Structure 1
Amino acid sequence: MGVLENKARARLFYKYLSKVYDRVNPFIWNEEMRDEALTFLDIQQGDRVLDVGCGTGFGTEGLLQYTDDVHGLDQSVHQMEKAFRKFGKHDQVRFYRGDAERLPFADDSFDTIWSSGSIEYWPNPVDALVEFRRVVKPGNKVLVVGPDYPKSSVFQKLADAIMLFYDEEEADRMFREAGFVDIEHHIQQRKPGSPRAITTVARAPDE
């Protein structure tokens, strides 16, 4: 387990990262990548969408282009304070402080679940994905963006020491173990040589 796959350390990390997150993020996960990922879903106006690990609201902002019923959850109050400044606490978006592995929502609560830049910090990603399947409506989709596993053995060792990096095979395993079907992966990259994101879209089984 990487050093940041510990919730207390991750919260401390984001306390300081939140100060510069919106300036650093575009070098790894920019608007073009986010907007491309949004096209992998079929969000309709009025759909109730949950953004897990919403952070400062970068993904949330994209979701609001599709529906005005967006809910954001994060464990870092420092990250969410940035989001509050953008959207208000109870205006455009309803925010919750919570844990991806124990979502504070009833079964079948959402039409879609989105999560970008969060899975790499989850100590038990399959547990969180099981929660996603529980709160998304049967037959509907979830989308998760995480860091693609590096090709270089040197960077692999560094990645393993910090947080979760994974490839398509590992993504398949996690999503299938959590009970999802129709799993597909998209590799996204800002430019050649920059970090690669693995964006997985999967469907909760029909009842």
Structure 2
Amino acid sequence: MLDYYAKRAPEYERIYTKPERQGDLAWLKARVRDVTRGARVLDLACGTGFWTEAMTEARSIVGADYNDAVLRIARDKGIAGAAFVRADNDALPFAPGTFDVMTAGCWWSHVPLQHLRRHVEGVHRALGPGVRVLWFDNQYVFGSSTPIACNDEHGNTWQRRPLRDGSEHDVLKNFPDDPTLLQTVAGIAQDVLISRLQYYWTLEYFTNQ
């Protein structure tokens, strides 16, 4: 997937130009702005900084991603108060208590189901207690989403995605239901709230004290 997103980096934000998604995107940007207001923010899997740009009232922002190609684009945007760092989402190099809020846009769906709980627990350890968390990702919508190409033995779903250079890439992309979201954070999160839009979902909570 690293190679796919490196190649896709120059065209990544085209996905956000789909006319039918503009209402949902406006709602999500407003939610991101509200959740991050006045906070020290970790934007996990920040990509090209599309969502970082919505954090206009944050106190400070660290955007973390493993892909140098998308980080270059994010840095070139010159987002006020934002620093972008290369980091492994499974081994975040931050001390607990560094951040008040963590956001992660369109990352949850790329974590294999068999590793998801462990991944979220690791993120929580890096954050520390009492941190506000906002995950958001895509709903599967027939006719708008890229079709599912196959499933694996763990229940993960995969899409075959074309790029402008003519290459095709099999990309892990899961579409969790509410029970899966709730089960993943059971016992490690408080004040859990799930919202479903037409094209996106959100999962909000605080890490356990």
Name the TM tier (shorter chain).
0.7 to 0.9
Per-residue CA deviation, residues 80-133 of structure 1 (Å, 9 max, x unaligned), is: 111011027xx7321111122211111222100000011222233323321332
Query: Are residue 92 (structure 1) and residue 89 (structure 2) matched?
Result: no
Residue 114 of structure 1 aligns to a residue in which SS? Answer: strand
Please state if 1:205 is matched with 2:208. yes
Match 2:133 to one of 124, 136, 142:
142
CA spacing shift, 1:200–1:52, aligned 2, 3 Å: same
CA contact (8 A) 1:74 1:96 kept: yes
**Match of 1:13, as an amino acid?**
Y
Deviations 1:27-55 (A, max 9, x none): 257640332432663x342x210000100
Corresponding residue pairs, total: 183
Q: Give the C-alpha shift of residue 26 in structure 1.
A: 3.3
In the superposition, relative to structure 1, how do residues 157 and 37 fare at CA in structure 2: closer, same or farther (>3 Å)?
farther
d(CA) in 1 for partners of 2:196, 2:201:
5
State yes or no: 1:15 paired with 2:24. Answer: no
Q: What corresponds to 1:121 in structure 2?
A: 110
CA drift at 1:156: 6.0
The reply on whether 1:37 has 2:31 as its aligned counterpart is yes
Matched, 1:182 2:195: no
% of aligned pairs identical?
Answer: 21
**Structure 1 runs (4+) greater than 4 angstroms displaced:** 28-31, 149-152, 155-159
For the 8 Å contact 1:147–1:166, the answer to whether it is kept is no
TM-score for both structures, normalised by structure 2:
0.76
Unaligned segments of structure 2, at least 5 residues: 152-156, 160-172
In structure 2, the residue corresponding to 1:17 is in which secondary structure? helix
Whole-Å Cα distance in 2 between the matches of residues 167 and 40 of structure 1?
25
Distance 1:17 1:52, change over 3 A: same
CA distance, structure 1, for counterparts of residue 190 and residue 149 of structure 2: 31
Cα separation, 2, equivalents of 1:173 and 1:119: 14
Q: Distance in 2 between matches of 1:157 and 1:184?
A: 31
Q: As a proportion of its length, which structure holds more strand? A: 2
Quote the RMSD (CA, aligned, Å).
Answer: 2.6
Aligned to 1:21, the other structure's residue is in SS state helix
Q: Aligned equivalents of 1:76 and 1:120: distance in 2?
A: 17
| Bigger relative CO (Cα 8 Å, ≥ 6 apart) | 1
Note the C-alpha offset of 1:176: 1.5
Cα distance in 1 for partners of 2:53, 2:121 equals 26
User: Structure 2 vs 1, CA of residues 146 and 158 (structure 1 numbering), >3 Å: closer, same or farther?
Assistant: farther
CA–CA separation in structure 2 for the residues paired with 1:125 and 1:33: 27
- Residue ranges of structure 1 left out of the alignment (5+ in a row): 1-9, 190-195
